[in-house]
Chain A
């Protein structure tokens, strides 16, 4: 029995007022004048408007209004070549504005963590209510608000973090324990933003797939953030929290942790569960990662460009039995980076690409597209962090050349034809090959490509328990019914 990616959804949430709470900015701001100090002022002189974020070409690719290959024809810097008549809604989902997202945060908040001032709630209520995926129950959780004086006291006296809009304090997010670091305000903020943005993209998935939330059997969260308490730091579940918010009353779930490779692990696990007959419909969900917001801000300030990491990226996939139309996950194609495989790039790529293709009797040039780490290079290059997708595509092309599948002179053609420019926000798990899944599905249904190999890597060594990396891959093929 074949297993398919039945539907994909993607969303971006513009969160300029949370750039100060990204892991890098919050640390740097704390030693550079704190809130209101010079560094925070510099950062906020470089944040984008919602309209600029919507019209940014890579963001239009992420939500499906542009194909990744269209970026080849848009001059860089892309932030100076905005898409005319850009739309916040796209075939895969939407780009959500921050005022509306505050409504989603309140809807996600089951512990009265977020206090918003009554004046701010009055300002955003109609905007939140106008969102087609917000329910009456969500709206009721906005409540009537907390007096701004009480909010300021909570910030000053009880380690709550201020929430901003248009440069003003409009609320706070409080801690829920005075001694448990896993329940301090900043950790809860990270987790709540993941939950709220994950719910946004999950609802888009249901709308696109035309299914009811109650039709889902199981949820796998590949979100980066770890929910838990001091006795079990990563032991909690964003999958069930997001599923509850989306009324998936017949589903259970758990979280997959594999650094940036987690989405591929989650999709392979989901496909295996469906193939084994354990579940019929599994959702893979990834909410946005606050920690990565503003991660490369210093490079952006140095180059006098906008702080481009102001978007939470969110992904959702519905994995089901064969429907006769959707692209097929080849479970016999899974490539894994074994513990004993070696850690240099050639070893990793051989494990993830060459070995599985050899097993299937395929050449590298039999694959129409490769999706790898899809980080937007315009974010990473100014910070000296290189062009991650291009580096990976060059290694793939070099492997194809070593295998005598292409001539050495054809390396650039391989990269252009079978690769693509990076277009994803640098959110760790979000760029991990899967931003192309929606495009690949459309391309396969239209007969433009026959297959794509998805390859992601994870930096396990960052956790200081092993020097190992991780990686996983799978081949996606056009449904045989389409190919006929």
Chain B
């Protein structure tokens, strides 16, 4: 053992982890401590491992991840704010053999795009929807999101989110899990190595589902936005665990095959 040199250990066959070939070399613009970078990386890894780079098209959002096409090396469509599920629907319906994924933040998916989100899932579009829930509008400077917690201070709730003024935090993922078109609905996080691995499994399952044509697969990632929250990354993880997880608990909300609809069919209307 004494003769074993460092160069002998650093060999391709001994490598346990590396950068995905589907990730570009461009340095990410995301803030230190932000969850976007990790989730972008996981998507790239899943696409590479499934060997579907030439069959995958992404829909990038309006928000901090607007330039995610700079990092994930697949074809992309840049959607208007909130419209990614509609864009993905139009693409997938006319290109049923492609893998299509959307990637949206809480404002995009659960405020301005609520209608498109609900109806895409309710139709059971065979797409992957990734939902980054960091309880704030990151890119526009930290305003209240539909998922902002009660009492949480943001640029537009400077005294904390108040129910009488702002209503309640929206558990949109729970609502979507009720829809028959949803095949797989899960809530994940990426704040520890174990959670990163679980989240990757969930994303992989979502991509695999979309080829099975059993309905929509929806992956929420409860995320941090230390810039928007104005606390450091470590404190952000702690705040998320203590404040967000009790309200947005992690785990699968739904994992099903296609719903048997025969029982719900009605008789034809007769005059």
Query: Do the two chains bind?
Result: no
Interface residues of B (CB under 8 A from A): none
